[in-house]
Copies of this chain bind each other. A is one copy, B any other.
Amino acid sequence: MIPTTRNKFISLDEFLQQPETKPACEYIDGEIEEKPVPKGKHSLLQTRLSARINQIAEPSKLGFALTELRCTFTGRSFVPDIAVFYWQNIPLDEDGEIANQFDKPPDWTIEILSPEQRQTRVIRNILFCLNAGTELGWLIDPKELMILVFQSGQQPEIKQGDDEVPGLKKLTHWTMSANQIFDLLKFN
């Protein structure tokens, strides 16, 4: 079992040799951090939003969204709630199937904030991704009904209500407002 204290320092290789846990652990600057245990609302939004992205992105082979995918790059190992890759950036194995190891940052990283989550750390992880080549980061706050949108090299924006929330630049058919995203939380 992977220690969850954030003061236990091990190497990235040692970390990656350990068995995966649930909830997943992330490796950042020598520290291991356990993701929060996903709850119903978090899981529903993660499931529906990834499906919505794939509805737009997969038929045109523009991109693909994957949930709880381990991405290891620049000495860190993240597990975004949703990691979206442009089609040509999805690594394939020798059989032409999707690879098991993802050693590059997602093009679009999406984090859904849990009530008990350390928000500054989540933002730090999104900024790490942007600095490693990620084009777009979303931090969805279901409690506040606000989405913080991070784009590489730019000042972040808050999106709420009827604001359109930008997707990947080359995902030209993407259009979804903040309200529409939070409507995914409605079950009935």
Q: Which residues of A contact B (CB under 8 A)?
A: 113, 118-121, 123-124, 127, 130, 139, 141, 143-144, 146, 148, 150-158
Contact = CB atoms under 8 A, between A and B. Distances in A.
Nearest to A117: B119
A24 B127 CA distance: 32
B152 A155 contact: yes
Q: How many copies are assembled?
A: 2
B120 A148 contact: yes
A152 B120 CA distance: 19
Nearest to A113: B120
B120 A144 contact: yes
15 contacts: A113-B120, A118-B143, A118-B144, A119-B119, A120-B139, A120-B148, A120-B158, A124-B146, A127-B156, A127-B158, A150-B155, A151-B155, A153-B154, A155-B156, A156-B156
Given A121-B144, A146-B120, A148-B123, A155 B158 contact: no
A155 B130 contact: yes
A183 B127 CA distance: 25
A34 to B, nearest CB: 15
Contacts of A120: 113, 119, 139, 141, 144, 146, 148, 158
Contacts of A151: 155
Among the interface residues A113, A141, A153, which one has the most CB atoms of the partner chain B within 10 A? A141
B157 A154 contact: no
A160 to B, nearest CB: 8
Q: Which 10 A-B pairs have the closest CB atoms?
A: A120-B141, A119-B119, A124-B158, A120-B144, A120-B146, A153-B155, A127-B158, A154-B155, A130-B155, A118-B144
